Amino acid sequence: MGHKSVCLECRKSLNREIDSNSERIYPCSECGKPMTLLPHRFKPPKKTEDKKWETVNFLIEHGFYYQHVYENVEVKKSGIIVYENYAKYPENIKDAKEFVEKYKDQARIYKYKTG
């Protein structure tokens, strides 16, 4: 399954097939900076949608790379972890701040850059 390489500076998104042997380094063709690798489910805003790009940047800076985030995570007495219902990613900064606070335990602790 493919991924998207996204330049947060230029607001450019490219579909990429991931080869497990690749180094995953994709510089932006416009600015040369490393692009951020996001899953195929990421739907980039239009270049002109400043507020939505602000939200995308905020989420990524806080460890949310459009990976699956679950609304309910429960540990059963048997020690089995049950994940239920995907949370919907927010489209504005106000909702993004609430999302980050609510799901902070599911954030990635590293930046997943392609360069």
Name the region of 93 (left: φ>0; alpha: ψ -120 to 50; beta: rest): alpha
| Domain chopping of the chain, boundaries | 3-106
Residue with tokens 């699956």: 68
C-alpha closest to that of 3 among 35, 46, 27, 51: 35
Kindly report, residue by residue over 25-47, the tens digit of the pLDDT. Answer: 788 999 999 999 999 889 999 99
Query: Is residue 51 within a helix (H) or strand (E), and if so which, with residue range?
Result: helix 50-61
Kindly report, residue by residue over 59-68, the tens digit of the pLDDT. Answer: 999 999 999 9
72 vs 100, residue with greater confidence: 100
Angle separating helix axes 93-102 and 50-61, nearest 10 degrees: 20
pTM: 0.82
Phi, psi (rounded to 5 degrees) for 7: -95, 115
